[in-house]
Amino acid sequence: MNLIRRTLSSLAVAVLVVGTAVAQQTPPKPVPVPRPAMPEAPVPPPPDVDGKSWVLMDYATGQILASKEPDTRVEPASITKVMTDYVVSAEIANGKIHMTDPVTISENAWRSGGAGTDGSTSFLKLNSQVPLKDLLYGMIIQSGNDAAIALAEHTAGSEAAFANLMNAYAKQLGMTNTNFQNASGYPIANHYSTARDIALLSRALIHDFPEDYAISAVKDFEWNGIKQHNRNLLLWRDNTVDGIKTGHTAAAGFCLAASAKQGDSRMIAIVMGASNEKARADAALALMNYGFRFYETHKLYDGNKPLATPKLWKGQANQLPLGVADNVLVTVKRGDYDKLKATMDIPATLIAPFTKGQQVGTLRVTLDGQPVQNVPLIALADAPQGGFFARLWDSIMLWFHSDKKPDEK
A 10 A CB-CB count for 306 gives 13
Name the catalytic one among 53, 78, 122, 193. 78
**81 counts as catalytic:** yes
Catalytic residue status for 106:
no
Distance of CA 211 to the CA centre of its chain: 17
Greatest Cα-to-Cα distance within the chain, rounded to the nearest angstrom: 132
Asked if residues 191 and 71 have their Cβ atoms less than 8 Å apart, the reply is: no
Tell me, yes or no, if 78 is annotated catalytic: yes
Q: Are 380 and 322 in contact (CB under 8 A)?
A: yes
Catalytic residue among 68, 81, 245, 314: 81
Contact 151, 84 (CB under 8 A): yes
Helices (H), 174-262: 195-208, 210-213, 234-237
Which one is catalytic: 89, 122, 143, 259? 143
Phi then psi dihedrals of residue 76, to 5 deg: -85, -10
3-state class of 151 per DSSP?
helix
Q: CB–CB of 312/352 below 8 Å?
A: yes
Other CB atoms within 10 Å distance of the CB of residue 44? 8
84 contact partners, CB below 8 Å, separation of at least 6: 139, 148, 151, 152, 162, 166, 183, 184
CA quadruple 154, 156, 160, 166: dihedral sign: negative
**Beta-bridge partner residues of 383:** 354
Residue 343's nearest CA partner among 304, 310, 371, 380 is: 371
Q: State the catalytic residues.
A: 78, 81, 143
